Amino acid sequence: MDSAHTLPPSRAHSNHPHHAATSLDFTSVFLPSCIEMIRPASEKSSVISLLIQSLVCEGRIDPAHAEEIIRGLIEHERHGTSAIGKGLAFPHLRTAEVKEFVGAIGVAPDGIDFGSLDHDPTKLVFLTLSPRDGREQHIQLLSRLVRLMQDKAVNMQLHHRLRPQDVYEYLSDLDEQNRSTTA
């Protein structure tokens, strides 16, 4: 078991700054304090801003770069939605403003309009930021997220996790399953 599971999450990550860069465990990317409830009728840009603000509050990104990151994510969304359907969206950005993989999750039990390809409301938003030099791990993380979320059983289980702590615990369980299948 790695150090992120033996220390409280906030201490584990502050004591191990490179942990997320070497591990693509969901729990190293998404901290429980960076899982936010999304209000009904929230706009895409306000959801992105809320999730970036949670990363700022947790000290995972510099407040001086928050607006630049938000603009980059919104611009990325203009070129094509990250809402792939089935209630899921994966806004993401590679940026020089982060040194490790970080993320935040938005939970919208009633669903929001995120410009989804299937036009269904989006209920879970997985926002990820990756270092510029982490292209392969960036693709690996997104692929793992998308692959898992396309699994009907996983998708149904996660859609029934309406509290941030429940979402985090489920991601932790998925990490544990992934470690046991790759060991």
Residues ≥6 apart with Cβ < 8 Å to 83: 89, 114, 115, 116, 117, 122
Residue 141's CB: how many other CB atoms inside 10 A?
A: 23
Please report, for the chain, the start and end positions of each structural domain, with discontinuous segments joined by +: 3-173
Distances (CA, A) of 39 to 25, 43, 56, 85, 111: 28, 9, 20, 19, 9
Residue from 50, 24, 46, 175 nearest 105 by CA? 50
- Asked if the model's pLDDT at residue 137 lies above 50, the reply is yes
Decide: helix, strand or coil at residue 161: coil
Pick the CATH number of 3-173 from 3.30.420.10, 3.40.1500.10, 3.40.930.10, 3.30.70.100: 3.40.930.10
67-118 pLDDT tens trace: 999 999 999 999 999 998 888 899 999 999 999 999 999 999 889 999 999 9
38-53 pLDDT tens trace: 999 899 999 999 999 9
| Interatomic CA distance for residues 158 and 163, integer angstroms | 10
What is the secondary structure of 145-158 as a DSSP string? HHHHHHSHHHHHHH
Where is mean pLDDT largest: 20-34, 55-69, 106-120? 55-69
Question: If pLDDT is split at 50, 70 and 90, which confidence band does 149 have?
Answer: low
pTM of the model: 0.80
